[in-house]
Amino acid sequence: MVSLILRYINYIIGAAFAFVLLIALWGTASELITNPPKATAEEEFHLEPEPLALHSDGPFGTYDYRQVQRGFQVYKEVCSACHSLKQVAFRDLEKIGYSEAQVKAIAAGWQIEQPDVNKDTGEPATRPNVASDRFPLPFANDVAARAANNNAIPPDLSLMAKAREGGPAYIHSLLTGYTDPKTFTHDGKSLAKEFPDFTVPTGLHFNPYFPNLNIAMPPPLTQDGQVQYQDGTRATVDQMSKDVSAFLMWTAEPNLAKRHATGFGAVIFLLIFTGLTFGAYRNIWRGIKH
């Protein structure tokens, strides 16, 4: 009898607990329905990358190596001061049209030398780059990188076109997307009016294509003619941004053209093989009636 009473008491306590949880859940749900949370500035004003048409686009895409070379020039003269390219070797530049002699000259003249060790003293030293070396890091370590970049470590760019959604389009939009938050509008809405308390922290820069709108990297491409192209192309900010985006697409996928050619050949082979297989099937079963 006592155990039966205790069981009923447990049922009552459990039911009461479940009832309280349902009340709390209903209160929370009704509050969200009647008073939904206001969207943040990042949700309202973050922009998707603008479309960027490159020769490498599509299943039959290949690289415009003149553009890729211009992009390398932009990286060399602008981006390499902060960003590494540690997955790429100097000799890889032969794949985009540089001669062996040109690659050796580029490697030897690179502003940062390779870390080495003095054979006589064992002390740290440096040596000139050779074609087989990978591009050297712009900073000795992460501490030095943070100290030079407002406590932010510039990311390696070797695979950046594959690591970010939008790829080269994201890179191009980011490089050309710096603007003044006080005058920035999107879909007819003003950032300053919708979020009057929005401020850009000291040391950061407003860019609507960056996920949280504020990026540590200052605008790297600031004016037309910042790079003097060797092929005579007019170096506008937009052109330099497109070219370096094409170059970073190549560093992320240097075998793209070969992969496309191999895939196309494989598809042709499969089509021919399917036709031959179907013909053999019809030939074998031709005289047999069901």
Residues 33 and 55 in one domain: no
Average pLDDT of every residue of the chain: 89
Residues 100 and 214 in one domain: no
With respect to residue 69, please indicate whether it lies within any of the assigned structural domains. Answer: yes
Residues 58 and 80 in one domain: yes
**Count of domains for the chain:** 3
55: annotated binding-site residue?
no
With respect to residue 281, please indicate whether it lies within any of the assigned structural domains. Answer: no
Query: What's the pLDDT score for residue 2?
Result: 61
217: annotated binding-site residue?
yes
Query: What's the pLDDT score for residue 266?
Result: 87
Q: How confident is the model at residue 27 (pLDDT cuts 50, 70, 90)?
A: low
With respect to residue 107, please indicate whether it lies within any of the assigned structural domains. Answer: yes
83: annotated binding-site residue?
yes
Residues 56 and 175 in one domain: yes
Secondary structure of residue 246 in the 3-state scheme: helix
Q: What residues contact 158, with CB distance under 8 A and at least 6 apart?
A: 84, 85, 86, 87, 88, 251, 252
Residues 47 and 101 in one domain: no
Segment 161-179, tens digit of pLDDT: 999 999 999 999 999 999 9
CATH classification of the domain holding 158: 1.10.760.10
Query: Residue 97 pLDDT more than 80?
Result: yes
Nearest by Cα to 226 from 218, 214, 216, 235: 235
82: annotated binding-site residue?
yes
Residues 77 and 96 in one domain: no
Residues 26 and 113 in one domain: no
Helix axis angle, 65-77 to 237-252, nearest 10°: 100
With respect to residue 180, please indicate whether it lies within any of the assigned structural domains. Answer: yes
Q: How confident is the model at residue 234 (pLDDT cuts 50, 70, 90)?
A: very high
Instruction: Measure the N-to-C terminal CA separation of the chain; round to a whole number of Å.
Output: 78
Residues 121 and 248 in one domain: no
Query: Residue 223 pLDDT more than 90?
Result: yes
Residues 223 and 251 in one domain: yes
With respect to residue 146, please indicate whether it lies within any of the assigned structural domains. Answer: no
Host domain of residue 113? 89-133
Segment 42-83, tens digit of pLDDT: 888 999 999 999 999 988 889 999 999 999 999 999 999 999
pTM: 0.81
Query: What's the pLDDT score for residue 263?
Result: 82
